[in-house]
A and B are shown apart, each in its own frame.
Chain A
Amino acid sequence: MSKKNDLKLYYLFIITIFFVLTLIVSMFIGRYSIDRQEYVNSIGNIKSHILNGTELNPIAMILFNVRLTRILMAALVGAGLSISGLVFQNVFKNPIASPDILGVTSGASFGAALAIILPVEFKGKIQILAFTFGVLAILITCFIKRMSRDESILYLVLSGIITSAFFTSLLSIMKYISDPYQQLPSIVFWTMGGLHRANWELVRNCIFIIIPSIILINKLDFKIKILSLGDTEAKSLGMNVSKFRNLILYLVSFVVSFCVSISGTIGWISLIVPHLSRILLGNDNKFIYLFTAIFGGTLLLILDNVARTLTTSEIPIGILTAMIGAPILGYLLIIKKTV
Chain B
Amino acid sequence: MKIKVEDLTFLFDEKEVLKNINIEFEKGKVYSLLGKNGTGKTTLLKNLFGIYRANKGKVEVKDRNIHDFNEKDLSKIISYVPQSISSKLNFTVLTVVLMGRNPYLNGLDKLTDRDYKLSYDAIKIVGIESLVEENFSKLSGGQKQLVMIARAIAQDTEFIIMDEPTSSLDIKNQHEVMNLIWNISKKYNKGVILSIHDPLLCYRYCDEIVMIKDGSIMINGKVEDIFTEYNLSSLYDIEFTVVKGINGERIITPIY
Contacts and interface: CB of A to CB of B under 8 A. Distances in A.
Interface string A25-45: 000000000000000000000
Interface stretch (A160-168, A181-189, A235-243): A235-243
A222 B111 contact: yes
Interface in A184-242: 219-220, 222-223, 225-226, 228-229, 232-233, 235-241
A283 B135 CA distance: 10
A223 B107 CA distance: 10
Interface in B134-158: 135, 155
Interface in B66-87: 70-72, 74-76, 78-80, 82, 87
Given A222-B111, A226-B99, A240-B71, A235 B90 contact: no
B159 to A, nearest CB: 11
B71 A284 contact: no
Given A235-B71, A240-B71, A90 B100 contact: no
Contacts of B133: 1, 4
B51 to A, nearest CB: 5
B91 interface: yes
A6 to B, nearest CB: 13
Interface string B103-128: 10100100100000000000000000
Interface residues of B, number: 32
B103 A93 contact: no
B224 to A, nearest CB: 32
B20 interface: no
B39 interface: no
Nearest to A237: B102
Given A1-B133, A223-B102, A282-B135, A238 B75 contact: yes
Nearest to B74: A238
B89 interface: yes
Contacts of A94: 88
Contacts of A226: 99, 102
Contacts of B99: 222, 225-226, 229, 237
A95 interface: yes
A219 B72 CA distance: 19
Contacts of B220: none
Contact of A236 (B49, B88, B105, B108): B49
A238 B50 contact: no
B95 interface: yes
Contact of A233 (B80, B92, B111): B80
Given A219-B108, A222-B111, A226-B99, A236 B79 contact: yes
A238 B108 CA distance: 14
B80 A236 contact: yes
B59 to A, nearest CB: 14
The 5 tightest CB contacts between A and B, nearest first, are A238-B103, A238-B75, A236-B80, A1-B133, A238-B72
Interface of A: 1, 4, 90, 93-95, 219-220, 222-223, 225-226, 228-229, 232-233, 235-241, 282-284
Interface of B: 46, 49-51, 70-72, 74-76, 78-80, 82, 87-92, 95, 98-100, 102-103, 105, 108, 111, 133, 135, 155
Given A226-B102, A236-B75, 17 more contacts: A93-B88, A94-B88, A222-B99, A222-B111, A225-B91, A228-B87, A229-B99, A233-B82, A236-B49, A236-B51, A236-B78, A237-B75, A237-B99, A238-B72, A238-B103, A241-B71, A282-B90
